[in-house]
Amino acid sequence: MAFFTIQPTPGLTGRDRRRANAAGPGSGAVRTSYQSLLRAAGFEQITAIDATADYRATQQRWIDAGTRHEEPLRVSMGDEMYSDRLSSRRRTLAGLDEGLLARFLYTAQRPATQSTMTATN
């Protein structure tokens, strides 16, 4: 299994964690670590690769492109959706710049079961 996620930067406490949750997507607001969740689900060989710098650059490019193409985007998306998306991206960028948010690529494997090993041998 592999997935990317935007999450509060590891090691934040109290107030900064709440600020991170407000700055990022709701799906990143977990009460424990992703490694703990993956282990609890039976996964092994868990890796976490920090992709924050690349994600920060992408956020900035989205903001720049959205601003550059504002008029046609407002026509196609509507004023409210355009404004909401741009605000959300700016909030996320600020969270990244303040060290509150991080983007990670997680990979993990399920252990091979006896029936799986027999079927493949």
Whether 94 shows a pLDDT value over 90: the answer reads: yes
- For the ranges 26-40, 82-96, 107-121, the lowest mean pLDDT is seen at 107-121
pTM of the model as a whole: 0.80
Report the pLDDT value the prediction gives residue 14, as an integer from 0 to 100: 87
Average pLDDT of the chain, as a whole number = 90
Contacts 24+ apart (CB under 8 A), 52-59: 52/96, 52/101, 52/102, 52/103, 52/104, 54/103, 55/6, 55/96, 55/103, 56/93, 56/96, 56/97, 59/89, 59/92, 59/93, 59/96
SS3 13: coil
Report the pLDDT value the prediction gives residue 28, as an integer from 0 to 100: 55
Q: Residue range 32-58: average pLDDT?
A: 95
Backbone Cα Rg of the chain: 19
Report the pLDDT value the prediction gives residue 113, as an integer from 0 to 100: 75
- Strand ranges of the sheet holding 2-8, from the earlier edge strand across to the other edge: 2-8, 101-109, 44-50
Q: Give the CATH number of domain 2-112.
A: 3.40.50.150
> Nearest to residue 66, comparing CAs of 27, 99, 93?
93
61-76: pLDDT as tens digits: 999 999 999 999 999 9
